[in-house]
Structure 1
Amino acid sequence: MIKIKVNQIKMNIKHSIDDVVKEALKKAHTQKNNLVSYKIIKKSIDARKSPIYIYAVQLELNKYNLKKLPKDVSIVKKEEKYIYNVTGNKKIENPPVVVGFGPAGMFCGYLLAKAGYNPIIIERGKDVDSRIIDVEEFWKTGKLNTESNVQFGEGGAGTFSDGKLNTGIKDKNGRQNFVLETFVKCGAPENIMYDSKPHIGTDILQIVVKNLRKEIESLGGKILFESKLTNIEKEGGFYNLEINNSEKIQSQICILAIGHSARDTFEMLYNKSFPMEQKPFAIGVRVEHLQDMINKSQYGVDDCEGLPAAPYKLTYNTKSKRGVYSFCMCPGGCVVNASSEDKRLAVNGMSYSARDGKNANSAIVTTITPNDFESKHPLAGMYLQRELEEKAFNEGKGAIPVQLYGDFVNNKISHEFGNVISDIKGKYSFANIKNVLPKYICDSIEEAMPYFGKKIQGFDNKDTVFAAIESRTSSPVRIIREDDFQSVFKGVYPCGEGAGYAGGITSAAIDGIKVFESIISEFRP
């Protein structure tokens, strides 16, 4: 059998997969009777002129002339499969403990279970089904469960998001494909393997994380929900991990995949002398526009039928050299109350798999660097987040502060929506967001919006809806680790987004895989 790859297969908006395969065979100068199988490798949209789809397809053929390959056709090299080898010689006396069941903890725990290490995974929040009940109750009544919410629980913060899986990581070891393949195995759609901007959606993610947990359990792993790490003490060659201020688990290995919102855990680790440092992050607002307006601008046509809800990505540097950019853009999505602490309020964006909501939303945020803090305390960024989230809670009287962009510029409270009716999960109230954000953030956003309006027509319309505060873009702290992925406290592995080493579902999962690889290079089950 011969495998070839056919690139630059251009298709009109309305087409079938059969049409794609037919065009691939035509470009490859071969007949259908030579075709054994096919696989879609990549799918994207080119909207520079009239929107078209562009595919790359792998064809498996029973015969083919390789002497003179047509344009855009190449021989398929050996597919890079993720493999691992246990090379460590130190015996683990007790199962390794993974703290946190977000993407980093899930994938580290999953691979440890596959390799026979029987990991124990502790998660401060609840299982996903119980978590959904708590989150929906919070959105309906405002009653917050500080241990079971949009930030904490099975699947981590990504469970209530758009479920984006794209990443800028260049990975030659097959880790990224392994992550995507695992998601598909656990219920995600197969198109995430080839879409240029893959996403799952919160509704399907909730199924995927549950199935991945069941897979871990079937392999000998153990997951303990409602189990928060409250203390860690070294005793000989072991760590005593205190759970919920009472029960203790002993292990040589502890993977800290705690997530970017585990502020009480950061404080506990700081008090235990774990080396940490400030790191850049971003703060701003979440903006809403009509998805139809975004579609027309991004695709350059009035009739967008047959096209998916369009995403966008925007960046701007202010005159004062501060970056402003879009973050976690949710096509056809909604804004959600993503709070996790009493009397503090944060927002995020979320999309379902269909992305069929009327509005598009995205964070528009301003970079925050250690230079913005007078304090050199490693947790200074976290304390700024808390301070601003308290202001947001107070400004909205416990509800999400909402303001039209035109009124934000004029420093006055809005009283009604314009053309864009906000789609928010949770209570909201009209307020003045300038009372929440520092002046340098407000000024930066005001300077950037007209520029964004030149990139996407209508982006700076006066009735664009702002919601505050977008403060959980990434971890404001990095738990320092060495080249072997361990803290100075050997056997402890800071991991994922919360520890400051990832930014999104896929990159956090890959970091969890790298930590797993470090563990198996030193320890055997």
Structure 2
Amino acid sequence: MGYRTISLKLPTDYDEEMLRERIGRTLKLTDFSYTIEHKSLDACRKSDIHWLVRIGVASEQIDGGVPETPAPLCIPHVGPGRKALVVGSGPAGFFAAMVLQNAGVQTTLIERGSAVDTRAEGIRTFEKTGLFNPSCNYAFGEGGAGTFSDGKLTSRSKHIGRERQFVLASYIDAGAPEEIAYMAHPHLGSNNLRRIVKRLREEFLALGGRMQFDTMLKDLTIEQGRVVEAVTSSGHIEADCYVVAPGHSAHETYRMLIGRGVPFRTKNFAVGCRVEHPQELINLAQWGRASLPGVKAAEYRLTFNSQGHLPVYTFCMCPGGAVIPATAYANTNVVNGMSCYRRAGRFANAACVAAVNIESLLGRPIAPVEALDWLGSLEASFYEYANGFAAPACRITEFVSRKAPSGVPEASYPLGLKPASLWEMLPVQIGNAIREGLGDFARKIKGFETGTILGLESKTSSPIQAVRDATGLCSGFENLYLIGEGSGYAGGIISSAADGIKAAMHIAESMAAGR
């Protein structure tokens, strides 16, 4: 049996019969098997949009060659009697808990929010009534904030090959489409994620793991740099190690950790709004046609850098999706984006944000708690303006020209829009940078200026970062790990999960070695 790798250019609506015919013709084979190794859309020329597909082909008719097999994640075995507590069930926390449980460590996973089905029902109620539930919302609950997102699985993190493979295989085993293993820009969609996180939880429990929902970490008891007990809303928990994956929205958890001596520093982050357009407009701009057979919906990624302004970029683009009320607290107003796997909605949305160094922005040194206060105050100001969770909004043309809004267009946001001079609600430097960026984006995407800009996008990443090592171990502590987006070292599903896996592997290896 031999093996060859080939690359093919295929029409967007190709099927398996066409693919097999092209493989056989290219390699002059009649009997073979194949696997897709990589697939990306080439839309550089609107007249010739096609898939670029790299394929591994095995056949008795091929001489030599073997497929490359990536090294698997080898989880060490830990003897009985060791216990771990993991806080937070987002990708970082869950995969840390899964690895530890697989290693033989008795692992308890606590989550301040509710199980995914209860959470989804709470979100539906919130969107119908505007009554906020602190346990059932877009920020907190099973699977973390990513459960109700586009479910993107791309990452710019390096040296996480084994971890990425473990995560993708786990998702596929739990019902994710197999294409996530080879697509250049894979995504799960929120509808798939709700099923996947539930099945992963069932697997964790079947391994002997323990999970407690509606259980919040309130405090830590620390003795000489070692955590000896976690105080939760459901009681006290003792363990050999404590892994905290709070997500970037859990500001009271940050404050508790800072109060207990966990060192943090400020870091760069981003603040802005969401922009929304009819998906057909984006398809026409990117493809030159309203739809493209074999491709769900067109995407975009835009950046703007100009001397004298903060850098501006689009982030977390959700084709065929919706803008959602993603606030973590009852007195703040924050938006985010979500889409289902088919990306079949009428609208496209993306964050349009300015990169911020808070010390440069405010012109003085800023302590981590001050950074949390500043961001929380900005989020509260949007709530106060709207007197609730309606999203302050205007047309992009109005934002760019600083013209008072004359009403708001139809939008996907479920809790309504409130006309607002958004540029006045943002810090001056941020508003000015986004205004220039929007003008530039309108030159790059035809019709971009006709869209809507709405809400406050403040959750692209945490404004603060833990002082920790590469394994997640907090400086000055023996057994306290801070991981994922809440640590300030990861962003998105894959890099957060990989951060959690690396911490768990370090803990398991140390325990297996008797440390």
- Common topology (TM > 0.5): yes
Aligned CA distance change for structure 1 residues 173 and 504 (closer, same or farther; 3 Å):
closer
The within-5 A match list for 1:50-449 is 50-66=48-64, 75-86=65-76, 93-171=81-159, 173-235=161-223, 238-244=227-233, 247-301=235-289, 304-369=292-357, 370-373=359-362, 374-398=364-388, 399-418=390-409, 421-449=410-438
CA distance in 2, matches of 1:406, 1:452: 12
* Contact 2:111 2:142 survives alignment (8 Å): yes
| Corresponding letter in the other structure for 1:468 | G
Which residue matches 1:69?
A: none
Q: Does 1:41 align with 2:37?
A: yes
Aligned CA distance change for structure 1 residues 190 and 247 (closer, same or farther; 3 Å):
same
Q: 1:178 offset after TM fit, Å?
A: 1.6
Which residue matches 2:455?
A: 468
Q: 1:22 offset after TM fit, Å?
A: 2.0
* Contact 2:227 2:242 survives alignment (8 Å): no
Aligned CA distance change for structure 1 residues 316 and 410 (closer, same or farther; 3 Å):
closer
Query: Which piece of structure 1 moves more, 285-294 or 474-483?
Result: 474-483
Aligned CA distance change for structure 1 residues 434 and 449 (closer, same or farther; 3 Å):
closer
* Contact 2:219 2:256 survives alignment (8 Å): yes
Per-residue CA shift, 1:399-424, capped at 9, x if unaligned?
21121112223445434345xx2111
Secondary structure of the residue that 1:125 maps to in structure 2? coil
Which residue matches 1:456?
A: 445
Secondary structure of the residue that 1:112 maps to in structure 2? helix
* Contact 1:118 1:221 survives alignment (8 Å): yes
Which residue matches 1:72?
A: none
| Corresponding letter in the other structure for 1:243 | T
Identity value in percent? 34
Counting helix residues as a fraction of each chain, which structure ranks higher?
Answer: 2
Secondary structure of the residue that 2:394 maps to in structure 1? strand
CA distance in 1, matches of 2:16, 2:503: 39
Per-residue CA shift, 1:333-372, capped at 9, x if unaligned?
0000001112210000000111011111000000111322
Aligned CA distance change for structure 1 residues 14 and 305 (closer, same or farther; 3 Å):
closer
Secondary structure of the residue that 1:294 maps to in structure 2? helix
TM, length-normalised to structure 1 = 0.92
* Contact 2:272 2:354 survives alignment (8 Å): yes
* Contact 1:102 1:257 survives alignment (8 Å): yes
Q: 1:301 offset after TM fit, Å?
A: 4.1
Per-residue CA shift, 1:31-85, capped at 9, x if unaligned?
222x1x211111111111211111111112123134xxxxxxxx44431042224
Q: 1:321 offset after TM fit, Å?
A: 4.6
Per-residue CA shift, 1:447-501, capped at 9, x if unaligned?
111211122111123xx11111000111111111124431121111110011111
* Contact 1:395 1:436 survives alignment (8 Å): no
| Corresponding letter in the other structure for 2:420 | A
Per-residue CA shift, 1:178-233, capped at 9, x if unaligned?
21111111111111111110001001100000000110000111111011000001
Per-residue CA shift, 1:270-314, capped at 9, x if unaligned?
111110010111000100011111112222445534432011111
Secondary structure of the residue that 1:209 maps to in structure 2? helix
* Contact 2:73 2:166 survives alignment (8 Å): no
* Contact 2:154 2:185 survives alignment (8 Å): yes
Aligned CA distance change for structure 1 residues 85 and 61 (closer, same or farther; 3 Å):
same
* Unaligned residue ranges in structure 1 (runs of 5+): 67-74
User: 2:472 aligned to 478, 485, 498, which one?
Assistant: 485
Query: What is the number of residues matched between the two proteins?
Result: 506
Query: Which piece of structure 1 moves more, 227-236 or 254-263?
Result: 227-236
The within-5 A match list for 1:17-36 is 17-27=16-26, 29-33=27-31, 35=32
Q: 1:24 offset after TM fit, Å?
A: 2.0
* Contact 2:39 2:53 survives alignment (8 Å): yes
* Contact 2:423 2:432 survives alignment (8 Å): no
* Unaligned residue ranges in structure 2 (runs of 5+): none
Which residue matches 1:16?
A: 15
| Corresponding letter in the other structure for 2:229 | N
| Corresponding letter in the other structure for 2:454 | A
* Contact 2:77 2:104 survives alignment (8 Å): no
| Corresponding letter in the other structure for 2:459 | R
Per-residue CA shift, 1:239-287, capped at 9, x if unaligned?
210001x610011200111100010000001111110010111000100
CA distance in 2, matches of 1:333, 1:273: 41
Q: 1:430 offset after TM fit, Å?
A: 2.0
Q: 1:18 offset after TM fit, Å?
A: 2.2
* Contact 2:217 2:253 survives alignment (8 Å): yes
Q: 1:147 offset after TM fit, Å?
A: 2.7
- The structure 1 segments of at least 4 consecutive aligned residues displaced by more than 6 Å after TM superposition are none
Q: 1:93 offset after TM fit, Å?
A: 4.8
Secondary structure of the residue that 1:32 maps to in structure 2? coil
Q: Does 1:3 align with 2:11?
A: no
Secondary structure of the residue that 1:320 maps to in structure 2? coil
* Contact 1:395 1:435 survives alignment (8 Å): no
CA distance in 1, matches of 2:380, 2:488: 24
| Corresponding letter in the other structure for 1:19 | M
